Amino acid sequence: MQIGFITDGKLVHFQKRRDIRPAHLYCFAFGSIGEVNYEKEVCGESAELEEVALFSRNFNCTVIAGCYTDTKGIKRKSAVVAEKGKILGISDMTTGIDGDIYKCGSGIRVYDTSVGKIGVLVGQDIYFPELFKSLAQCGSEQIVCLYESVGDSLEQILLRANAFCYGVPICMCAHGYVQIADVSGKIAYATPLSPSYFNAEPFKEYHLIETRLRGFHKPQEIF
């Protein structure tokens, strides 16, 4: 699967470029589309979601774009997912820390696309390993994290650890930077360039894990 990452600039400007390489999946960082106000979208006063859908139709691909959403004044960090002209859904950041102005939204989701099952995490959801575990257990073949701005090495450590523990490659698309961790826990790709492209090979390997636990005691049946 060829993945294209656009970490700077607007989606509407990118699609006019003549050097666009074909990709099965395009990931756009936060700021690639304007704020999505649901009331205005429904009334036809804005068309941010339509732009994402049209891009996916024109380039016959799947698109994941980071954005800020507004639901009657409630602000959230979100990711719009579209494929071949259709909006598949919108994933919100599910965690709010210490009174963040961006509120938590709906639960995490795995999108069944033409390029496989893709789990999506938004913003500071990357700090919660149980979310990666849930996406992996629900069949994700690739996890995409939309993040605002990479600071130090913490985000990279989290990507590597969760990719290794849960056996799913993880991509992070942030403003000005892309990094991808493979299932061995190593960084398979990282670049500040935009656009950039990476060929992600499917990886499905299962292992038998055994452990001993106390509890789960059931009385022996007497015949």
Give per-residue pLDDT as tens, 187-207. Answer: 999 999 999 999 988 777 788
176 within 8 A of 7, measured Cβ to Cβ: yes
**What is the reported pLDDT for 151?**
76
Peptide bond into 192 cis (omega under 30): no
pLDDT bucket at 223, cuts 50 / 70 / 90: low
pTM (global) more than 0.85: yes
**What is the reported pLDDT for 222?**
66
Task: Name the maximum alpha-carbon separation found in the chain.
Answer: 78
Q: What is the pLDDT of residues 143-184, one digit of tens each?
A: 999 999 887 789 999 999 999 999 999 999 999 999 999 999
Tell me which of 55-59, 106-110, 158-162 is least confident: 106-110
82 within 8 A of 62, measured Cβ to Cβ: yes
Could you tell me where the DSSP H helices lie in the chain?
Answer: 11-14, 38-43, 48-58, 129-137, 154-166
**What is the reported pLDDT for 58?**
93
**What is the reported pLDDT for 128?**
95
CA-based nearest residue to 177, from 30, 64, 48:
30
